Structure 1
Amino acid sequence: MELSPSAHLDTFARDHLPPAGQWPGLLFDLPELRYPDRLNCGHELLDRTIDRFGPGRPVFRTGCGDLWTYGELRDRVDRIAHVLTSRLGVVPGNRVLLRGPTTPWLAACWLAVMKAGAVAVTVLAQQRARELATMCRIASVGHALCDARSLDDLVAADVPGLRITSYGGDSPGDLLRLAQDAPPEPYPAVATAADDVALIAFTSGTTGRPKGCMHFHRDVLAVADTFSARVLRPEPDDVFAGSPPLGFTFGLGGLVIFPMRAGASSLLLEQAGPAHLLPAIGEHGVSVLFTAPTAYRVMLNDPRAPELGSLRRCVSAGENLPAATWREWLERTGLRIINGIGATELLHIFISAADESIRPGRTGVPVPGWQARVVDRGGVPVPDGEPGLLAVRGPVGCRYLTDRRQLEYVRDGWNLTGDTYVRDPDGYFRYVARADDMIVSAGYNIAGPEVEEALMHHPDVAEAAVIGREDGLRGQIVVAYVVLREGVPRGDGTAAALTEAVKARLTPYKCPREFVFLDALPRTPTGKLQRFLLRTRE
């Protein structure tokens, strides 16, 4: 597929796209997916939405009661974009890392990066220095906008040449202070190509080495114009909220892209676990909720369930939604959870169903604009009712940033998600399991080898193996099998020390929830670890 002339002066992202022969097939059958050659998603989501609905509508709300209108957001976004290009030297195509809790200012920074024609690399506020350094190296990041409360690990990452600008603090060079002094004139969005890279989203594979997924400006709109428009069907008066942070594409779509495409608003919560979501729903009149099955199960056990009266749409993704959870939520609230499967590689949800089309225990059917099938290891479709690998294609496809795993994810023009599925004769898709060693806990993907590597840095650890154990609340929990060095005592004290050691190197949700101490790990005669024996033990 021939690309349009790029607006990027820094051509790193386009230069590092996979070869054209390794791309998946793309589908643009729906009329709304036939985008013009020049397209800036920041302009479309902000300026064009204001053209349709006016500047006075609410766009972002906070748990503290702050409210931003679309007009106020545009003024702040444009000022930040002026600072990026005039003061900080950002040019189209530069990678700009964005880090901080979920706030309107983080969303404004993302939109400013879009309008400036740069490439957003949004990461989690929880990620540690080692993880940040790796992502900055892979994406060749030169600039970072970071919440002042999240600076420590980014500074500790010690990325060569990285220019860090904080926001929300009291330093003279704080981004928000610079924005106050920026020109008040509107910032004309860079006329990026529809297929210029807009963002690089990182995910971890089974090896633990993060993969950068490159998505175009048109991709950002395509997920809104397929799943959101055709399945979720938001209304301008909706108030969105959810647990996923903006560093995950699940959160970026559900809390920024989808509501803004519809002229709606979002409640952006810095703390968005079930204990915080539940009261916030009633207090702020949330009508559209995005979270994982774990959170729905926790909220079902909370006596404050009557506070859910404002909800009209509930979306679940990140892990499989059990039929029992779906039915209990319906009985308690009268609401049918919209189940879905998405992937960072494909930006958002591509199989789902809503309303009367929902079938408990089934993920759904391909979202309009997408196709799906179940294939064997050779890519040949298997008969309905037989398990195989899920293969999908649509208007968005996997494009890894200089990663040989592109050849594993994309085969014969289809994206292989790494999930085992069954297609029923009526066309509905049923989740079976992950096809690899990935641990999926409370909607988070956790690579066992990455946790093992963190454990092996502790001087008391001789060997380590990490697997997932089935868990009724979280889907799976991380369990570490550890062989300690001679003389180190087995017990709670050592387990606590290892937990803190992992937390110092990795995002806290990756930490083992249980340690099992062994004399030796099961291995083949050639020394290869036999994880399947540990799973059998579980």
Structure 2
Amino acid sequence: MELNRSAHVDTFSRDHLPAPGQWPDLRFDLPGSPGLHYPDRLNCGAELLDATIGRLGPARPAVRDGAGHVWSYGELKANVDRIAHTLTTDLGVVPGDRVLLRGPTTPWLAACWLAVMKAGAVAVTVLAAQRPGELAAVCAIARVRHALCDTRSADDLIKAAVPHLRITLFGGDAPDDLLRRSAKKPTSYVALDTSADDVALIAFTSGTTGRPKGCLHFHRDVLAIADTFSACVLRPHPDDLFAGSPPLGFTFGLGGLLVFPLRVGASTLLADWGGPARLLSDVQRHRVSVLFTAPTAYRAMLGELGAYDTSSLRRCVSAGEHLPAALWHDWRRATGLRVINGIGATEMLHIFIAAADDAIRPGTTGVPVPGYEARVLGPDGLAVPDGEPGLLAVRGPTGCRYLADQRQAAYVRDGWNLTGDTYVREPDGHFRYVARADDMIVSAGCNVAGPEVEEALLRHPDVLEAAVVGRPDERRGEIVVAHVVLRAGVPRTGETVRRLREFTKKEIVPYKCPREIVFHDGLPRTPTGKLQRFRLRDGALQFPRD
């Protein structure tokens, strides 16, 4: 497709979009579509903030932290605009520059993201828990030269030693702290006149090879997820208060905890994940009405519900992993609420299949969100009959555009996005999840690429071979299990397991680290030396272990 004139000075993101023939078929006029025709010139930061204030006024509560401090929409805009001035006048950020954002989930991190949008730069939001090697890889792929980082998350970013990266810290006492500098700036900033299809953010995911993939999303994409799933399925009210566990570094959290509430003039609680009891305490204390989290958290909260008042909740959204029917029914019995199940993808930006209220069929994911369509494909690429499993394919107003990555051709075929999930379409039109179609492990709603964990383990001098697979787990969906061959003379003991796990936690995000390590004399391989992960995954073979 032909793109509108870009406002970017740094054209790296647009220059590294996939070739036109590799794009998904972006559809804005599917039957039942809510009306997704956006103007050619569009800045999503201005739409989410300035336009919302124009409709509803500046006095409404916008964001709050875990301690109970609240910013109105007017206060949020003033803070965002001051930071945008600092980005452009002090730090030298030009339109199109990639700006890394890192820190715990706080109102200030959200303000930084909105400021990057209004300045016409490109946000690359990463997890506060990511390790130096992971951060270096993201910065290299996206050619990041600027970073805004919470002082509490600075150490590993500094250790990443990214060449020519200018790190500006916020939340500290230093004279050059971002918040001190921005306090002196004007409280009004005119958002850059970006194109609707200028790149607004690069969201990173991990493929089965473990090499991060950057997903390019436009300014109109940010609004499209709010105008489809949120508007048509979630249907929030301006008086709602959103909260949840996903960080803003995950697109599930970015949409659910920032984009969706701001689009309708609601408010959001931005506090870092502190476990199920903390989340329930936040619901009770702040009177949260819309909750976003993964099935693992819903399961964990069930045992704590009796100690908290959750009567303020009216919407609960689950994504990140399959929601079992039994858990759905347990939550309904305990709270009276019907969880909105959904499937999304970083490549699609947010949820594209879901169901709410009377449309819910427990045990299924749902139906295509208005604005999207889905089908199940067989090995020949043709749709299979209802009731037969195949690969899930989806298209709509958003879609996969990898940043200079040859894996684009595998994800997008004939204009459809192939999510890597095996699904069945039931005769009533609901889509039922079967399994992942690749080696990705989904644990507690987080994607873990087995090869990435293997590479981390293999950096330990005592490890000769490693194979990482998922094992079904009632609480987490799957857990990460590492099958390891040790160097001769290294004892197969619990102490060795502990050392390997501690080592791995320093190499990659802790949630990716193996929860179980099994020692073997050798790993199953083909005559050509290819690792047979399936023999480890399905338990068909038994291996010596201590």
Q: Does TM, scored on the shorter chain, surpass 0.5?
A: yes
Of 170, 176, 188, the residue aligned with 1:173 is 176
Q: Which residue of 1 aligns with 2:543?
A: none
- Moved runs in structure 1, 4+ residues, more than 6 A? none
Q: Could you tell me how far 1:378 is from its partner in structure 2?
A: 2.7
Aligned-residue Cα RMSD (Å) equals 0.9
Q: Could you tell me how far 1:172 is from its partner in structure 2?
A: 1.4
Deviations 1:434-467 (A, max 9, x none): 0000000000000000000000000111111110
CA contact under 8 A between 1:278 and 1:304: conserved in structure 2?
no
CA contact under 8 A between 2:280 and 2:308: conserved in structure 1?
no
Q: Which residue of 2 aligns with 1:527?
A: 529
Q: Which residue of 2 aligns with 1:106?
A: 109
CA contact under 8 A between 2:34 and 2:227: conserved in structure 1?
no
Q: Which residue of 2 aligns with 1:120?
A: 123
Write the distance in 2 (CA, Å) between the matches of 1:357 and 1:450. 39
Write the distance in 1 (CA, Å) between the matches of 2:186 and 2:111. 17
Q: Which residue of 1 aligns with 2:93?
A: 90
Write the distance in 1 (CA, Å) between the matches of 2:101 and 2:76. 17
Q: Which residue of 1 aligns with 2:322?
A: 320
Q: Which residue of 1 aligns with 2:362?
A: 360
Pairing 1:63–2:69 present: no
Deviations 1:113-162 (A, max 9, x none): 00000000000000000000000000000100000010000000111110
Residue identity in the other structure for 1:159: V
Q: Could you tell me how far 1:342 is from its partner in structure 2?
A: 0.2
Q: Which residue of 2 aligns with 1:440?
A: 442
Write the distance in 1 (CA, Å) between the matches of 2:425 and 2:248. 32
Q: Could you tell me how far 1:273 is from its partner in structure 2?
A: 2.4
Deviations 1:369-414 (A, max 9, x none): 0000000123210011000000000000100000000000000000
Of 149, 157, 162, the residue aligned with 2:165 is 162
CA contact under 8 A between 1:299 and 1:305: conserved in structure 2?
no
Q: Could you tell me how far 1:536 is from its partner in structure 2?
A: 2.3
Q: Which residue of 2 aligns with 1:259?
A: 261
Q: Which residue of 2 aligns with 1:5?
A: 5
Pairing 1:143–2:150 present: no
Matches within 5 A, 1:301-340: 301-304=303-306, 306-340=308-342
Q: Does the residue aligned with 2:45 lie in a helix, a strand or coil?
A: helix
Write the distance in 2 (CA, Å) between the matches of 1:377 and 1:214. 28
Write the distance in 2 (CA, Å) between the matches of 1:279 and 1:347. 29
Deviations 1:260-282 (A, max 9, x none): 00100011112342121011101
Deviations 1:37-65 (A, max 9, x none): 00000000000000011000001111101
Write the distance in 2 (CA, Å) between the matches of 1:68 and 1:160. 36
Q: Which residue of 2 aligns with 1:493?
A: 495
Residue identity in the other structure for 1:166: L
Q: Could you tell me how far 1:181 is from its partner in structure 2?
A: 1.4
Residue identity in the other structure for 1:347: L
Write the distance in 1 (CA, Å) between the matches of 2:228 and 2:186. 37
Mark the runs of 5 or more structure 2 residues left unpaired by the alignment.
Answer: 541-546
Matches within 5 A, 1:291-440: 291-304=293-306, 306-440=308-442
Mark the runs of 5 or more structure 1 residues left unpaired by the alignment.
Answer: none
Write the distance in 2 (CA, Å) between the matches of 1:183 and 1:265. 24
Q: Which residue of 1 aligns with 2:79?
A: 76
Write the distance in 2 (CA, Å) between the matches of 1:144 and 1:423. 44
Write the distance in 2 (CA, Å) between the matches of 1:485 and 1:465. 15
Q: Does the residue aligned with 2:498 lie in a helix, a strand or coil?
A: helix
Q: Does the residue aligned with 1:178 lie in a helix, a strand or coil?
A: helix
CA contact under 8 A between 2:244 and 2:293: conserved in structure 1?
yes
Deviations 1:447-490 (A, max 9, x none): 00000000000011111111000000000000011111011111
> For residues 303 and 6 of structure 1, do their structure 2 counterparts lie closer, same or farther at Cα, with a shift above 3 Å needed?
closer
CA contact under 8 A between 2:82 and 2:183: conserved in structure 1?
yes
Q: Does the residue aligned with 1:537 lie in a helix, a strand or coil?
A: coil
Of 130, 133, 150, the residue aligned with 1:130 is 133
Write the distance in 2 (CA, Å) between the matches of 1:301 and 1:70. 36
Q: Does the residue aligned with 2:529 lie in a helix, a strand or coil?
A: coil
Q: Could you tell me how far 1:305 is from its partner in structure 2?
A: 5.6
Deviations 1:270-322 (A, max 9, x none): 23421210111011000000000000000111253652111000000000000
- Deviates most, 528-537 or 93-102: 528-537
Q: TM-score, normalised to structure 2's length?
A: 0.97
Identical counterparts, % of pairs: 72
Write the distance in 2 (CA, Å) between the matches of 1:169 and 1:32. 44
Aligned residues: 537
CA contact under 8 A between 2:372 and 2:394: conserved in structure 1?
yes
Q: Does the residue aligned with 1:33 lie in a helix, a strand or coil?
A: coil
Write the distance in 1 (CA, Å) between the matches of 2:310 and 2:337. 10
- Deviates most, 306-315 or 399-408: 306-315
Q: Which residue of 2 aligns with 1:286?
A: 288
Pairing 1:23–2:23 present: yes
Write the distance in 1 (CA, Å) between the matches of 2:380 and 2:247. 36
Q: Does the residue aligned with 1:59 lie in a helix, a strand or coil?
A: strand
Residue identity in the other structure for 2:344: G
Q: TM-score, normalised to structure 1's length?
A: 0.99
CA contact under 8 A between 2:255 and 2:350: conserved in structure 1?
yes
Write the distance in 1 (CA, Å) between the matches of 2:366 and 2:108. 35
Q: Does the residue aligned with 1:388 lie in a helix, a strand or coil?
A: strand
Write the distance in 2 (CA, Å) between the matches of 1:395 and 1:412. 16
Residue identity in the other structure for 1:113: V
Write the distance in 2 (CA, Å) between the matches of 1:149 and 1:430. 41
Write the distance in 2 (CA, Å) between the matches of 1:306 and 1:118. 42
Q: Could you tell me how far 1:535 is from its partner in structure 2?
A: 1.3
Write the distance in 2 (CA, Å) between the matches of 1:477 and 1:28. 38
Of 254, 268, 273, the residue aligned with 2:275 is 273
Write the distance in 2 (CA, Å) between the matches of 1:158 and 1:306. 45
- Deviates most, 213-222 or 486-495: 486-495
> For residues 202 and 402 of structure 1, do their structure 2 counterparts lie closer, same or farther at Cα, with a shift above 3 Å needed?
same
- Deviates most, 104-113 or 30-39: 30-39
Residue identity in the other structure for 2:18: P
Q: Which residue of 2 aligns with 1:33?
A: 36
Residue identity in the other structure for 1:448: G
Residue identity in the other structure for 1:36: P
Write the distance in 2 (CA, Å) between the matches of 1:529 and 1:50. 57
Of 219, 232, 235, the residue aligned with 2:234 is 232
CA contact under 8 A between 1:292 and 1:442: conserved in structure 2?
yes
Residue identity in the other structure for 2:282: A
CA contact under 8 A between 2:43 and 2:118: conserved in structure 1?
yes
CA contact under 8 A between 2:440 and 2:447: conserved in structure 1?
yes
